[in-house]
Amino acid sequence: MTPHAAVLAFDGSRIDGSLFTSVTDFARDTPWLNTPIALATNLGLGVFAVLMVMGWWRARRRDDAAMALALAAPAAVVAAFAVTEVIKKLVAEPRPCRALPHDFFVNSCPAATDYAFPSGHTTTAAATAAALFLLDRRLSAIAAVCTLLEGFTRVYVGDHYPHDVLGAIVIAAPVALLAGLVLRGLIRPLVSRLRAGGALQPLLTARLAPAHAAR
């Protein structure tokens, strides 16, 4: 197989290129949205970091298992990201800007070795939502909505096909769930010991005010 044929074998435009073009046509027709969404697609990842911090803060008033999950959440996201990065190298799907060069793109075309499937940004988002599902369903629901928004921005700016976003969610969510459960079991005994006393105790436990102080 020639190198050119190998590229065509993984040409994502054959899967949902027309849907991708519909979204980027919308981006072309809404230039006033281009800059805000280009900023949001990267800065929006900060929302997921904030949600994990909120999960840790709330877990300080909960049991050892909850705190273990809160501490495991970032590691679960890293695990999901590592898995998708391996898949990205194996699939080696060229970015849409290389398969559909005449489409409208908000972002510039990255290096040829920066592949498209699955979306790294969406991986981080979906993995966060999954890790938080084990800890706090309300925070997880917020993260899930933000994941959908993040996925849309990735297509809007032209960095990914819709299937890159969907694939990231399908892969990252179960990996993060499994990693969170495994890490909870590994971390929980350590959390119990550290909560019993020591310099890290204030980070792991919120001291409740005495009953008489609340009166």
pLDDT score recorded for residue 190: 87
pLDDT score recorded for residue 207: 64
Cα–Cα distances (Å) from 136 to 20, 55, 73, in that order, read 34, 7, 11
pLDDT score recorded for residue 181: 94
pLDDT tens digits for 78-135? 999 999 999 999 988 999 999 898 999 998 898 888 899 999 999 999 999 999 998 9
> What span, in angstroms and rounded, lies between the C-alpha atoms of 84 and 206?
36
Look at the pTM and tell me if it is higher than 0.75. Answer: yes
User: Are the C-beta atoms of residues 120 and 81 closer than 8 Å to each other?
Assistant: yes
Cα–Cα distances (Å) from 214 to 61, 202, 208, 210, 211, in that order, read 17, 21, 10, 7, 6
Class of domain 16-194: mainly alpha
pLDDT score recorded for residue 54: 94
pLDDT score recorded for residue 208: 52
pLDDT tens digits for 38-65? 999 988 889 999 999 999 999 888 888 8
pLDDT score recorded for residue 29: 94
pLDDT tens digits for 163-215? 999 999 999 999 999 999 999 999 888 888 888 777 777 777 776 544 443 33
